[in-house]
Amino acid sequence: MKFFVDTAEIDQIRELNDLGMVDGVTTNPSLIAKSGRDIFEVTAEICALVQGPVSAEVVSLGADDMIAEGRKLAAIAPNIAVKVPLTWDGLRACKVLSDEGRMVNVTLCFSANQAILAAKAGATFISPFIGRLDDINIDGLQLIADIRQIYDNYGYETQILAASIRTANHMSECAKIGADVATAPASVIKAMASHVLTDKGLAGFMADIAKAGIRIL
């Protein structure tokens, strides 16, 4: 499973990228606003830093405007994936942009029916939102499983990009289900390294080292 980091903060991306933990980046208007930087400037810097796809989201609601914005965003760098919402206009924009050979990430997916439409419109990625479904007592991971089954049934090439990930457990569950990509905040990816027994074992080792006076350097 590929890891995308869901942020527009360059330092977070660089740290994970240096460890080989970044296969791509997802951004959205909220993350761009949080960074306090110009969308074109920060997106270009991210694209230069990572080799994989960088999702940059349109801000209009009409298909024609989404297409124009998508083309402008795609001109930033070859690894841009234009991000459009899963609306009828978004699907129209997805079809046009994907037919032009551009990567398209269809976002805000909350049902298997929506995922089918995105695949038929030529989406490169479909982004089902796990956490937001969990928030309203609907099993977000089950949606990932449903989309995986449907895509495998019919050979759709659209990649499942699990989004709205809140916990390290979400990451491993998505991997077991067969999501192609999981995008998460840097804090969630780093939390995957944590385990109480690792901490306990390390504390025991350090106590024994101190007691024995062991030194290597």
Q: Which residue has the tokens 């998508």?
A: 70
CA distances (Å), 212 to each of 50, 199, 215, in order? 45, 20, 9
Q: How far apart, in whole angstroms, are the C-alpha atoms of residue 63 and residue 124? A: 18
Q: How far apart, in whole angstroms, are the C-alpha atoms of residue 35 and residue 206? A: 39
- For 16, half-sphere exposure in the C-beta direction (CA atoms, 13 angstrom radius) is 30
Q: Identify the three-state secondary structure at position 36.
A: coil
Q: How far apart, in whole angstroms, are the C-alpha atoms of residue 47 and residue 44? A: 5
Q: Of 2, 72, 83, 211, which is the active-site residue?
A: 83
Q: How far apart, in whole angstroms, are the C-alpha atoms of residue 23 and residue 50? A: 7
Asked if 139 and 111 touch (Cβ cutoff 8 Å), the reply is no
Among residues 113, 68, 65, which one has the least CA distance to residue 86?
113
Task: Identify whether 211 is a catalytic site residue.
Answer: no
- For 2, half-sphere exposure in the C-beta direction (CA atoms, 13 angstrom radius) is 18
Give the CA radius of gyration of the chain.
20
Active site amino acids:
83
